[in-house]
Chain A
C-alpha cells in the first residue's frame, strides 16, 4: 500500500514541477540528465460467459545518461486489481507486489556499438520491444509473441547499429544466470542466448531473430526458436507479419505460429485493425484467430481500444476493451 502512495506522490510532485510538460513525453528532473515517466492500463474482457475487469499495469519508469553511460529503471504493479464475475460468483484479487520490469545500464562504446547489463525486454520481433498497452496497435498481443521466446532477459546485451541510406541493426542477448523477478517472465529461465538482425529502409523493415533458452520451472526443458518479421508503414497504412517456430528438446517437437496484420488510419485519431493468427502444435492447443479491432486516441498518449477475437478453439472467443495512458 505504501508503495502505491509513494509512486503517486513522486508522479504528482514531478508533473506539477514541470510547466512545459506534454503527456507521453515524460519529464526531466530539474536540469539533471534524469527523466521520469510511466503508464497505466485497465481492461475489460468478456469470454465464455465471464466478465473480467483489471487494473493491469501501474508503472513508473526513469532513465537518463551521463556521457557514455545510461540507465533504465522500471517498476510496475501487474494485475494490480482483478474482478471476475460469472453466472454464479464474483471474486476479486489484488497483487500488491512491485515488480522490476526493466533495470539495466548501457555503455556506448561508440555511436554504433552499445553494451548492456541487467534485465531488459528481449529485443525480438515487433511487439516485445514495446510490450505495453498504450504503445500497441491492439489491446492484445499476437499469440506468436507470447509463446516462442522469453519476454525478459537478465544478463548482457550488445547492439550494433549502422546507418547509411538504411538502418542495419544487430542484437546479441546473453543470459547465463538466474533471472531478476523470474516469476514475472513468461518462462522461468536461467539461460538465454539470442541473435537478431534487422534492416530498415524507407517504410520497410525486415527482422530475423533466433536463439536458445533453458526453462527451469515445472518441466525443465531446452528450447530453440526463430522468428522472421516484416513490416511496411506509412501515414495511412501499416502492414506487418511475423512467422516463427519453437523447438522443444524434451518433447522433440515444434510449435509453429504466425500472423498477418493490417492497420488503416481513418484519420489521426481513429484506426481499424484486422489480424489473422494461427498456432500449430502437436499438443491440443491449435488455434486460428481473427481479431477485429478499433482504436481511438484523443491524444497519442491516451488510447481507448476495443477488439473482438474469433477463435477456432472452443470457448475462446472474446471481447476486450481497454483504456491506457502514457505519461
Chain B
C-alpha cells in the first residue's frame, strides 16, 4: 500500500513537470551550454560560418523564465543590468516574439536562428532540437 501511494505521488510530480526545448534552425552546429548563454548575451556571434540570431519570448513569459533560469545562470535583475549597459554601448537584446508559434515559424525559416519553446507547442519536425529539459 505504501509503494502504491509513493508511485501515485511520483506520477503526479512527473505529470506536473513541464518539458522545454531549445530549438534551432537546421544549419546551427552543436553548441555547449556556455555557448548558448553567450549567444543569448550576443557575445558569441557565429560558429563554423553560421551567424546566430537568438530570439526570445516576452519578458514575463514563463517559458522565457524557465530558459533563463536553466541556461543564463543570471538573475533577472542581473540580466536587466547587462542589457541596460549594452544599451549605453549601442547594442540591443535579442528580438522578442509574442508567441511560441511565432518563434517556431521564425526558426523554421531563418538560418542561424535559435530559441526555446514548451515541448507541447512543437508540431513541426523541420527544426533542430538542441536540448530538452524539464522543470
Binding site for B on A (CB under 8 A): 22, 24-26, 35, 37, 39, 61, 63, 70, 72, 111-112, 129-130, 132, 134-135, 161, 163-167, 202, 235, 265, 268-269, 300-301, 326
**Number of cross-chain contacts by CB at 8 Å:** 67
Contact at A24–B46, with CB atoms within 8 Å? no
The complex places the Cα of A63 from the Cα of B91 at a distance, in Å, of: 8
Distance to closest chain A CB from B125 (angstroms): 30
With CB as the reference atom, state the residue of chain A lying closest to B87: A26
Distance to closest chain B CB from A134 (angstroms): 8
List the B side residues contacting A301 at CB < 8 Å. Answer: 80, 84
Contact at B43–A72, with CB atoms within 8 Å? no
Majority secondary structure of chain A interface residues (helix, strand, loop or mixed)? loop
The complex places the Cα of A212 from the Cα of B96 at a distance, in Å, of: 44
Contact at B87–A167, with CB atoms within 8 Å? no
Contact at A163–B78, with CB atoms within 8 Å? no
Against A, the Cβ 8 Å flags (1 = close, 0 = not) of B96-124 are 00000000000000000000000000000
The complex places the Cα of A59 from the Cα of B84 at a distance, in Å, of: 15
The complex places the Cα of A317 from the Cα of B9 at a distance, in Å, of: 63
Contact at A235–B88, with CB atoms within 8 Å? no
With CB as the reference atom, state the residue of chain A lying closest to B76: A268
Please tell me which one of the listed residues A39, A61, A167, A300 contacts residue B81 in the complex, with CB atoms under 8 A apart: A300
Contact at A167–B38, with CB atoms within 8 Å? yes
With CB as the reference atom, state the residue of chain B lying closest to A22: B59
With CB as the reference atom, state the residue of chain A lying closest to B75: A235
Closest 7 CB pairs of A and B: A63-B90, A111-B45, A163-B44, A268-B77, A300-B80, A235-B75, A111-B46
The complex places the Cα of A301 from the Cα of B93 at a distance, in Å, of: 16
Contact at B87–A25, with CB atoms within 8 Å? yes
Please tell me which one of the listed residues A111, A166, A300 contacts residue B51 in the complex, with CB atoms under 8 A apart: A111
The complex places the Cα of A134 from the Cα of B85 at a distance, in Å, of: 9
Contact at B88–A130, with CB atoms within 8 Å? yes
Q: Identify 18 residue pairs between A and B in the complex whose beta-carbon atoms are under 8 Å apart, listed by A's number.
A: A22-B59, A25-B83, A61-B88, A63-B90, A72-B90, A130-B85, A130-B88, A132-B88, A135-B88, A161-B45, A163-B38, A163-B45, A165-B32, A167-B38, A235-B75, A235-B77, A268-B76, A300-B84
List the B side residues contacting A25 at CB < 8 Å. Answer: 83-84, 87, 93
Contact at B83–A326, with CB atoms within 8 Å? no
List the A side residues contacting B92 at CB < 8 Å. Answer: 35
List the B side residues contacting A300 at CB < 8 Å. Answer: 77, 80-81, 84
Distance to closest chain A CB from B93 (angstroms): 8
The complex places the Cα of A269 from the Cα of B80 at a distance, in Å, of: 12
Q: Contacts A112-B45, A166-B34, A202-B34 given; 18 further ones with Cβ under 8 A?
A: A22-B59, A24-B84, A26-B87, A35-B87, A35-B90, A37-B88, A111-B51, A132-B88, A163-B35, A163-B44, A167-B44, A235-B74, A235-B75, A265-B77, A300-B80, A301-B84, A326-B84, A326-B88
Contact at B87–A24, with CB atoms within 8 Å? yes
Contact at B43–A235, with CB atoms within 8 Å? no
Contact at A37–B87, with CB atoms within 8 Å? yes
The complex places the Cα of A22 from the Cα of B34 at a distance, in Å, of: 28
With CB as the reference atom, state the residue of chain A lying closest to B84: A24
List the A side residues contacting B35 at CB < 8 Å. Answer: 163-165
Distance to closest chain B CB from A25 (angstroms): 6
With CB as the reference atom, state the residue of chain B lying closest to A104: B90
List the B side residues contacting A26 at CB < 8 Å. Answer: 87
List the B side residues contacting A24 at CB < 8 Å. Answer: 80, 83-84, 87
Best-buried of B88, B89, B90, B92 by chain A (most CB within 10 Å): B88
With CB as the reference atom, state the residue of chain B lying closest to A25: B87
List the A side residues contacting B87 at CB < 8 Å. Answer: 24-26, 35, 37, 326
List the B side residues contacting A63 at CB < 8 Å. Answer: 90
The complex places the Cα of A95 from the Cα of B94 at a distance, in Å, of: 39
Contact at B89–A129, with CB atoms within 8 Å? yes
The complex places the Cα of A26 from the Cα of B87 at a distance, in Å, of: 7
Best-buried of A130, A135, A163, A167 by chain B (most CB within 10 Å): A163
Against A, the Cβ 8 Å flags (1 = close, 0 = not) of B53-65 are 0000001000000
Contact at B88–A163, with CB atoms within 8 Å? no
List the B side residues contacting A202 at CB < 8 Å. Answer: 34
With CB as the reference atom, state the residue of chain B lying closest to A327: B87
